[in-house]
Amino acid sequence: MTPYERILTVPPSPAFWVAVIAYAAATAALLFALGGKVKVRPAALGLVGLAFIAHGVDIAWRGTLHVHPAQSVREALGLLAWILTGGYLLASTRFRLTLGGVVVMPVSLVLLLLARLTPAGGSPPGPEGAGDRWQPDIDFSALGRVHISLATIGVGVFALASALSAIYLAEDRALRRKKLDGLALGRQGGAPLEALDRMSHRLIWVGFPIFTLALVLGAVWTSRLGESLDRIEYPLALVTWLAFAALLVMRQIYGWRGRLAAKLTLAGFAAAIAVLLIYLMRRM
Amino acid sequence: MSELFVVGISWRTAPVAVREKLAFREEELEDTLRAITRELPVAEALLVSTCNRVEVYGVARPDQDATAAVRAFLAGRRGLALASVAEHIYDHRGDGAIRHVFRVASALDSLVVGEAQILGQLKDAYAVAGAAGTSGPTLGRCLERAFGAAKRVRTETAIARGAANVSTVAVQLAHHVFGDLRGKSVLVVGAGKMSRLAARHLYTSGADRIVVTNRSLAKAEALADEIEGVARPWEDLEALLAASDVVISSTGAREAILTRPLFKKVMKARKRKPMVVVDIAVPRDADPEIGELDGVYLYDIDALERIVSTNLSEREKAAEHATKIVEHEVGQFEQWLRTQGVVPTIRALRDKLTAIGDAEIGKARDALARKDMTAAQQVELLQRTVQLVINKVLHTPTTALRAADPDAAAHMAAVVCELFDVTPVEGEGRDSASALAAGEVPPIIPMHPAPEEKSAP
């Protein structure tokens, strides 16, 4: 059995199903907490923790079967969801991010389901003239793995920054509409706007160099594979990079922050997600 | 029997002009409480004196009404004729008093329903009563249950949620934007009374620095002295705005002074760091358009009052649920209180039965010490001792049942059946009561067979 065939035949572990149930239950519990059932919140965070652990066990279990978490884009989606959940848990230790959880948990769940249950598809046709030398985008070279790993971590960090930006925009809107007791700010009080803005900015500082390195390695990898650069995901990846680069530069020089920065963060992240989805669709 | 009572005045019955005459200073409380329990028919007392109420919570001495005496005492203690304040003073006794204490602790009787201060004030008053030695078991239990009810009300209902005044909304708003207010700077534009309250509230909530600016520097300095701030000249307004995180404006200007062009420059200078602008002036000091700028959160007096009004109406709705909780807790306390009436009886009964048991056990021990007994003799002695205890315990009630007239005997017999959980054996057409009255009392403690009999083949 080739490594490619092996990946297609590795089924989800029992821990995967635990993670799925925990993600769904955590989403429901966080919704209750957001609706005013404050006492449910600790249990909801407990479920998030359980989902994170079970998800991690599933990734490790696949590792024992020689499936690298960044082996392919499909596999990397699972890793991305895990990073997202871990980041949310970490941020929740400092702030009440009930609304953020209601957004992040379903996203993690969908990413995990996409990573494990979507049809893996067959080997896509290679470029014309590549013949037997061509490998599908599941590449087992060190360069491919490092590229996908870094890109996944970078996008994961951007995803966290984007979640915080989305919460920022929701809270900003509530404050402007004078809805101090609305869902965004909530009875438990959301995270302060200034802190959300600051944390999102710091995350972009962390994610940007990782993502930049991933892009460079990706370019090298692509040139080694002899692929043409006219695929749509390449300019989209560049849009992501430019959006976050602009954010860092403009904040440094002109003090861009607040709503504008949050919207640009979401735009950059949307481009990154589009790249991932295009890869995924191509594999199906 | 001792009865709980409340005597006092509150914002409901008396204007501040009357309340301030009857108010007690903190250092007067202990002496006053001691005087109440010393001079009046009051066994336990607590005095709560706040800006909204002056009330004595107490327990009257057995079978005495203390309320009239406490009314006269309160007026006399403040050098007032009772007639001059009588119409403002109310009193409650028994269940009404208990309900009042619980409602006060739960802030259901407060001017602003759900406010948090009254619970702390009651706890302080309870501590003072403890220090004065005027708090007893009944009042103590009542207060502790009332504190428990108040805690339930605060955690299980929305009664304490949402800011209940304009300055609290300003603080809440600043918390939403900045979180911790440490290191934040507050600028007070104008020297109005409302801005003074809001600035002070922000300062006590952790804001580091308060700067006051006004067209008249002298007025700015006067206000700055009052709220521990710093006065700055009006000409520095733009620079002051750029350096401030929260702006409270309440000038008497006829036209907007916080304009969009000014704020565009200010936001650029502060690199678009967020800023909360609370405009409590009428006419408004802030151009509504500045609220559209990124990073500027503008609340005018209408917005603030709308929030306060919504919160207060939410509190009123929550008060219905809170009242149910209070009623439940009052019921629990009343039940406890009712049981306290029979405690001396239970204690006396226990003492008497213990004395009977001790006497018979002493005799049995003497008998055992006098001669060697076989096992069968020891069992016989034990049976005899138990029978003697039963006879002595039942002698008085049996005699009373026999001596009572038939109606009273029937009632007493029914009580005995209920208390001892026994069912009389019906026989020969006589009812249980008359059977009991005739002394045919079935054994209440069943006699077990002796061990030898039990083991005999």
pLDDT, tens digit, 9 for 90 and up, residues B1-25? 578 999 999 999 998 888 888 989 8
Residues 135-164 of A with CB under 8 A from B: none
pLDDT in tens, B345-369: 888 999 999 999 999 999 999 988 8
Between CA A220 and CA A147 the distance in angstroms is 10
Does the distance separating the beta carbons of B169 and A180 come in below 8 Å?
yes
Q: What is the dihedral of CA A262, A266, A268, A272, to 10 degrees?
A: 150
For chain B, give the percent of residues with pLDDT over 70: 93
pLDDT in tens, A248-273: 999 888 888 889 999 999 999 999 88
- Residue A2 pLDDT greater than 60, yes or no: no
| Lookup: tokens for B330 | 């009052």
For chain A, give the percent of residues with pLDDT over 90: 31
Question: B175 to chain A nearest CA, in Å?
Answer: 7
pLDDT at B439: 46
- Helices and strands in chain B: count of H runs, count of E runs: 18, 10
Q: Is A100 part of the contact surface with chain B (CB cutoff 8 Å)?
A: no
Between CA B178 and CA B182 the distance in angstroms is 9
**Residue B440 — very low, low, confident or very high, per pLDDT cuts 50/70/90?**
very low
pLDDT in tens, B155-211: 888 888 777 777 788 888 888 899 888 889 999 998 877 777 778 888 888 888 899
Catalytic residues of B: 51
Q: What is the mean pLDDT of chain B?
A: 87
Q: Is residue A4 part of a domain?
A: no
**Residue A207 — very low, low, confident or very high, per pLDDT cuts 50/70/90?**
very high
Residue limits of CATH 3.30.460.30 in chain B: 4-156
Q: Is residue A129 part of a domain?
A: no
pLDDT in tens, B263-278: 999 999 998 899 999 9
Q: Is residue A134 part of a domain?
A: no
Q: Which residues from B are below 8 Å from A185, CB to CB?
A: 176
Q: In the predicted model, what is the mean pLDDT of residues A49-77?
A: 86
- Residue A4 pLDDT greater than 70, yes or no: no
Sign of the C-alpha dihedral computed for residues A7, A13, A19 and A20 taken in this order: positive
Q: Is A75 part of the contact surface with chain B (CB cutoff 8 Å)?
A: no
Q: In the predicted model, what is the mean pLDDT of residues B25-46?
A: 93
Q: Which of B176, B289, B306, B308 to mutate to test the interface with A (most CBs of A within 10 A)?
A: B176
Residue limits of CATH 3.40.50.720 in chain B: 166-308
Q: Which helix (H) or strand (E) holds A168?
A: helix A142-176
Between CA B261 and CA B332 the distance in angstroms is 64
Q: Which of A92-96, A207-211, B23-27, B67-71 has the lowest mean pLDDT?
A: A92-96
Q: Is A178 part of the contact surface with chain B (CB cutoff 8 Å)?
A: yes
**Residue A102 — very low, low, confident or very high, per pLDDT cuts 50/70/90?**
confident
pLDDT in tens, A138-172: 445 778 888 888 888 898 899 889 988 998 998 89
Closest by CA to A8, choosing from A117, A113, A81, is A117
Q: Is residue A131 part of a domain?
A: no
Residues B260 and B289 sit within 8 Å (Cβ to Cβ)? yes
Give me the amino acid identity at B281: A
Q: Is A254 part of the contact surface with chain B (CB cutoff 8 Å)?
A: yes
Query: What CATH code would you report for B4-156?
Result: 3.30.460.30
Does the distance separating the beta carbons of A181 and B161 come in below 8 Å?
yes
Q: Which residues from A are below 8 Å from B317, CB to CB?
A: none
CATH 3.40.50.720 assigned to B166-308 = yes
Q: Which of B294, B302, B305, B308 to mutate to test the interface with A (most CBs of A within 10 A)?
A: B294
For chain A, give the percent of residues with pLDDT over 70: 84
Does the distance separating the beta carbons of A175 and B297 come in below 8 Å?
yes
Distances (CA, A) of B89 to B26, B139, B374: 21, 21, 78
Q: Which residues from A are below 8 Å from B274, CB to CB?
A: 193-194, 197, 258
Q: Name the residue range of residue A225's domain.
A: 9-119+139-283
Cβ burial, residue A56 (10 Å; 0-12/13-18/19+): middle
Q: Which residues from A are below 8 Å from B159, CB to CB?
A: none
Q: How many residue pairs from chains A and B have C-beta atoms closer than 8 A?
A: 64
Give me the amino acid identity at B212: V
Q: Is A185 part of the contact surface with chain B (CB cutoff 8 Å)?
A: yes
Count CB neighbours of A141 within 10 A.
12
Of B178, B274, B306, nearest to A258 by CB-CB distance is B274
The three-state DSSP-derived secondary structure of B287-319 is CHHHHHCCCEEEEEHHHHHHHHHHHHHHHHHHH
Between CA B61 and CA B223 the distance in angstroms is 53
Q: What phi and psi, each to the nearest 5 degrees, are found at residue B268? A: -65, -45
Q: In the predicted model, what is the mean pLDDT of residues B16-43?
A: 91
Indicate the pTM of the whole model. Answer: 0.65
Residues A257 and B295 sit within 8 Å (Cβ to Cβ)? yes
How much is the ipTM here? 0.75
**Overall domain count for chain A:** 1
- Residue B393 pLDDT greater than 70, yes or no: yes
pLDDT in tens, B285-312: 999 999 999 999 999 888 888 888 888 8
pLDDT in tens, B243-262: 999 999 988 888 899 999 99
